[in-house]
Amino acid sequence: MGKIIALANQKGGVGKTTTTINLAASLATLEKRVLVVDADPQANASSGLGVDIKQAECTIYECLIDGADVNRAIHDTEIETLKIISSHINLVGAEIEMLNLKNREKIMKSVLTPLKEQYDYILIDCSPSLGLITVNALTAADTVIIPVQAEYFALEGISKLLNTIKIIKSKLNPQLQIEGFLLTMFDSRLRQANQIYDEVKRHFQELVFKTVIQRNVKLSEAPSYGLPTILYDADSTGARNHLALAREILERENN
C-alpha cells in the first residue's frame, strides 16, 4: 500500500516544487514507483517533468471538478517508474467551483486513494496558499513535508500552517502526521542560514530532516529542460541532496 505525502507551505518560493520533482525522481531512481500530483495552478511541476501543459487534455482539474477518470490524467516522464498527474491554470477557479460539491474537502482523497495500490509514493505539490485545494491535499495525505527556506522570515507563517494541519487532523484526517521540516536553499557559508537551521531544530527537534537542500544553480536550470536534476546533472549538489533526502525517508520507514 502506497504512501501519500503532501509538500505544503503557504509561503511562496520556499522550494516546494523543486523538492517535489527531485525527491520524486530520487525515489524512482531508488526503484520505487512514484506518482507526482501537481496541485498548483502554476503547473511548474508538470513542465519541470517534461509535460506539455497546453497539450494535456485531462488534468487534476478535470478529475476534481468533472469526476474524470484519473488514469487519463497520468503522464509518463523520462524515468520509467515516475509518473505525473498534471495541473492546469483552470485550477485557480476550482476552489470556487468546489464550494457547492458534496464532501468538498475529500474529493482529492477519493481520486487518489485507489492509486495507492499502484504506487509506493504519491507526492502532492501544493500551491502556496491554504485554500480548499491545499486542504484537499492534506486531507488525502498520510504525511506532510514542510519545506522551510533558510532565510530570515523562514518561521513566519509556519504557525498558521501548523494550525491548519491541526484543524485538518481534528476534523478531516486524524491520521495525518508531519513527515518532517526540510531546510531548503541552504548556504552553509552564511551565519544566518546556520542560525535558522539551529532555530528550526530547536523548535521542531526530531521532525527536522538531517538532509538539507543546498543552494545549487543546477536545481534552477534543470526544469527549463523538463528534467529532474538527477537526469540533468547527476553529480550536482542538488541531485545528491535530494537522493540523500529520499534515502533518509526510506530509512525512517524501515526503522
What are the pLDDT digits (tens) for 9-48?
Answer: 988 878 899 999 999 999 999 999 999 999 999 999 999 9
Span 71-88, mean pLDDT?
Answer: 94
Q: Calculate Rg over the CA atoms of the chain.
A: 17
Other beta carbons within 10 Å of 144: 26
3-state secondary structure of 4: strand
What is the span of the domain harbouring residue 150?
3-254
Position 151 pLDDT exceeds 90: no
Q: If you write DSSP's letter for every residue of 92-143 in order, what string do you get?
A: HHHHHHHTTSTTGGGHHHHHHGGGGGT-SEEEEEE-SS-SHHHHHHHHH-SE
What are the pLDDT digits (tens) for 129-145?
Answer: 888 999 999 999 999 99
Picking from 12-16, 67-71, 161-165, 236-240, which range would have the lowest pLDDT averaged per residue?
Answer: 12-16
The percentage of residues in the chain with a pLDDT greater than 90, rounded to a whole number, is 65
Would you state the pLDDT for residue 209?
A: 95
Would you state the pLDDT for residue 85?
A: 96
pLDDT category at 55 given cuts 50, 70, 90 is confident
Span 236-255, mean pLDDT?
Answer: 92
Q: Which residue has the cell 502554476?
A: 42
Position 152 pLDDT exceeds 80: no
Measured at the CA of 46, the angle between CA 133 and CA 229, to 5 degrees, comes to 120
pTM of the full structure: 0.94
Indicate which CATH number applies to the domain containing 177. Answer: 3.40.50.300
Count: domains in the chain = 1
Position 57 pLDDT exceeds 90: no
Position 91 pLDDT exceeds 80: yes
Question: What is the residue-averaged pLDDT of the chain?
Answer: 91
pLDDT category at 240 given cuts 50, 70, 90 is very high
Would you state the pLDDT for residue 186?
A: 87
